[in-house]
A and B are shown apart, each in its own frame.
Chain A
Amino acid sequence: MSKGRVWKYGDDVNTDVIYAGKYTYQLFEPAEMAKKSLEDLDPSFAKNVKPGDVIVAGRNFGCGSSREQAAACLRYAGVQAIVAKSFSRIYFRNAINLGLAVLPSPDAPDALQNGEEIEIDFAGGRILSAGRVFTFFPLPESVMDIVQAGGLLEWTKKKLATP
């Protein structure tokens, strides 16, 4: 179980508003990248986000460019997971391979409220909030391992080091 606070957004949150194209070849420091996250969608986000917070959104989260920074900046900002009705394919893979949990859920996004505290049961595929329970397709252990290792390259290094 892992607790976090909800930042709620709508459908089609695209990679430009998550991490603007103008920064992609300018900023490389994680702390600097974190400060620009969601800049064009919610300027209050980067100032107030806390480690463990959760983004909750509608359909097609992460649509647009394939830039990996759009997943990396949210992880650097401390976001532990994104719960959405659906994700764009490339974003979904990039997020996991960069160590950010992405949880597709049909019912949680409509029901959860901005700012509320939720608990995520990663292994059980459940989100708990104020006595209610929502489900998501749980990421299997093997994929959660990638997220928890901090991304695919770190995971692969760890795996190779284990006889």
Chain B
Amino acid sequence: MAQTFSEKILSRKAGRPVRAGEVITAVPDLYLSHDNSSAIIGEFKKLGLARVKAPEKIIIVLDHIVPASDERYAQNHKTIREFVRAQGIPNFFDIQHGVCHQVFSEAGFALPGKVILGSDSHTTTYGAYGAFSAGIGRTEMASIWATDEIWLRVPETLRIEFRGEFPAGVSAKDAILKVIGDNGADRANYEAVEFAGPSASKFSLASRMVLSNMAAEMGAKNGYFEPDDLTLEWLKARARADFEIVRSDPGAAYEAVLQYDLSALEPQIACPHTVDNVKPVREVEGRPFHQALIGTCTNGRLEDLEVAARILKGRKIHPNIRLLILPASRAVYVEAMKRGLLEILSEAGAVILNPGCGPCLGAHEGLLAPGEVVVGTSNRNFKGRMGGRDSEIYLASPATVAASALEGRITDPRKYL
């Protein structure tokens, strides 16, 4: 029986061949949580257990409110640190490391063929490395800590094939925004998404992470790329464990196959207040805004800061705009510093924030006043998410955000690239 990636990997976990639609019980390979670990600890304690079952499988990264912005968050972090020590959890990343998905990947936990669950909806990101990784709820995570098991429904698969090359000024973010805009925010509900086609292997790993990350915004359970030489090269010095590449069989059954020609793409922007409200940037060009944000788990990697620096080098951002730069991790931050990118961005007028989630989830570090508008590279633009209830969020590529910060209005970046 020809199987998709997801059917194959979950068949191994189930110990029998399974097909889409079935429900299995699986022992996950790794489980991730972040600042919400304290809520999970609360649920875990209700179970009356003294010890978590498999401390070595727990990865905790503090990234949401770092450093703690008030006493409540500080207590939250303290609770987690004490639990980590008491339980002997070896893989704990305190506030200095960055966004969980970037840190998890850099540390070599995101591996092909692994089943990874995270109490964060963007856990889909590790599909960029060929893992089966999905977001789950807090109650479920508490139960996994106790039992090292979870029930999973074997998802149907939506295959998205890319061909052609990006024109100048167009990148992975534009591609995934176009896909979500064309197909809707629930198109891949409870499905696996497989990114494929002749151009998939041309995406950098950082770009693959953009697509896998935003698969969550189509309702997907995971967002898989087949590992290739680029993946193996990256993993050479990093992989924390042995792994085996799992691929879809030729002839596997897909729910649907979508085709996209990258060479026909132009810069895209998701307008308020849903991620599938996508338009070409030129249609909203000239719209004024207040704050620009480049970074987050979606677009805070080196290639993102590089393109922003290329556009902003030797220039100053518009005086009406505040530009926040949020490197995805300390490793990205240090490398961007060595390459002079942070210097370029700072001299252009940007505020360089510490690696973490920053203002994306609306808790600290650059929130919006009522009526303000942000143009950013993050992944969600739900109403009021980043501050004031009436504030608006536009989502676009780092190039579009940088060009827009320069002009003080939403701007098509192609004239700068």
Interface residues on A, range: 20 to 34
Instruction: Verify if A89 is at the interface (C-beta below 8 Å from B).
Output: yes
- A96 contacts chain B at the CB level, 8 A cutoff: yes
| A143 on the B face (CB < 8 A) | yes
Contacts A143-B23, A153-B43, A156-B143; is A86 near B137 (CB within 8 Å)? no
B221, CB-defined interface residue at 8 Å: yes
Contact yes or no, A60 B140, CB < 8 A: no
Contacting pair B23 A160 (CB below 8 A) = no
User: Are A93 and B137 interface neighbours, CB within 8 A?
Assistant: yes
Partner of B189, one of A89, A143, A157: A89
Question: Which among B25, B153, B186 is the interface contact of A92 at CB below 8 angstroms?
Answer: B153
Assess whether B234 is interfacial by the CB under 8 Å rule. no
The reply to whether B142 and A153 form a contact with Cβ atoms under 8 Å apart is yes
Check if A23 is an interface residue, CB within 8 A of chain B. no
Q: Are A89 and B219 in contact (CB-based, < 8 A)?
A: yes
Of A60, A66, A97, A157, the residue contacting B47 (CB under 8 A) is: A157
Contact A97 B139, beta carbon cutoff 8 Å: yes
Residues of A with C-beta under 8 A to B146: 156, 160
A96 and B151 in contact, given A152-B140, A157-B47 (Cβ under 8 angstroms):
yes
By beta carbon, the residue of chain A nearest B48 is: A157
Does B307 touch A at the CB level, under 8 Å? no
- Indicate the member of A97, A155, A156 with the most B CB atoms within 10 Å: A156
* A86-B46 in contact (CB<8A): no
Say whether A20 faces chain B, with CB atoms less than 8 Å apart: no
B21 contacts which of A87, A104, A142, A159 (Cβ < 8 Å)? Answer: A104
CB distance from B155 to the nearest CB of A (A): 9
Question: In the complex, what residues of A have CB within 8 A of residue B139's CB?
Answer: 68, 97, 152-153
Asked if A93 and B23 make an inter-chain contact with CB atoms under 8 angstroms apart, the answer reads: no
Is A140's CB under 8 angstroms from B24's CB? Answer: yes
| Separation of A39 and B307 alpha carbons in the complex (Å) | 51
At the interface, yes or no: B193 with Cβ under 8 Å from chain A?
A: no
Given the known inter-chain contacts A93-B136, A93-B137, A142-B151, please indicate yes or no for A156 contacting B21, CB distance below 8 A: no
A123 CB, nearest partner CB in chain B, Å = 13
Interface presence of B190 (CB below 8 A)? yes
Instruction: Please tell me if B182 contacts chain A, counting CB pairs below 8 Å.
Output: no
Chain B residues, CB < 8 A from A139: 23
B256 at the interface (CB under 8 A from A): no
Q: How far is the CA of A137 from the CA of B47 in the complex (A)?
A: 31
Task: Find the B residue at minimum CB distance from A156.
Answer: B143
Instruction: Collect the chain A residues with CB atoms within 8 Å of residue B390's CB.
Output: none
- Does the CB pair B151–A156 fall under 8 Å? no
Contact of B25 among A90, A97, A142, A152 (CB under 8 A): A142
A155 to B137 Cα, complex, angstroms = 16
B151 with A88: CB separation less than 8 A: no
Which residues from 11 to 51 on chain B have a C-beta closer than 8 Å to any C-beta of chain A? 21-25, 43, 46-49
B320 within 8 A of A: no
Given contacts A137-B22, A143-B23, contact A160 B190 (CB under 8 A): no
A63 at the interface (CB under 8 A from B): yes
Query: Shortest beta-carbon distance, A67 to chain B, in Å?
Result: 11
Question: For B137, what are the chain A residues with a Cβ–Cβ distance below 8 Å?
Answer: 66, 68, 90, 93-94, 97
Decide: A153 near B153, CB < 8 A? Known: A86-B189, A89-B221, A94-B137.
no
Q: Which of A85-144 contact B (CB under 8 A)?
A: 86-90, 92-94, 96-97, 104, 137, 139-140, 142-143
Q: Tell me which residues across on chain A come within 8 A of B221, comparing CB atoms.
A: 89
Alpha-carbon separation in the docked complex, A160 to B52 (Å) = 12
Residue B147 CB within 8 A of the other chain: yes
Q: Name the one of B25, B153, B190 contacting A88, with C-beta atoms under 8 angstroms.
A: B190
Chain B proximity of A122: nearest CB distance (Å): 13
The 8 closest A-B pairs by CB, nearest first: A89-B190, A156-B143, A142-B25, A137-B21, A143-B151, A152-B143, A143-B23, A140-B23
Extra contacts besides A60-B186, A139-B23 (9): CB < 8 Å: A60-B189, A88-B190, A93-B136, A142-B25, A152-B140, A153-B46, A153-B142, A157-B47, A160-B47
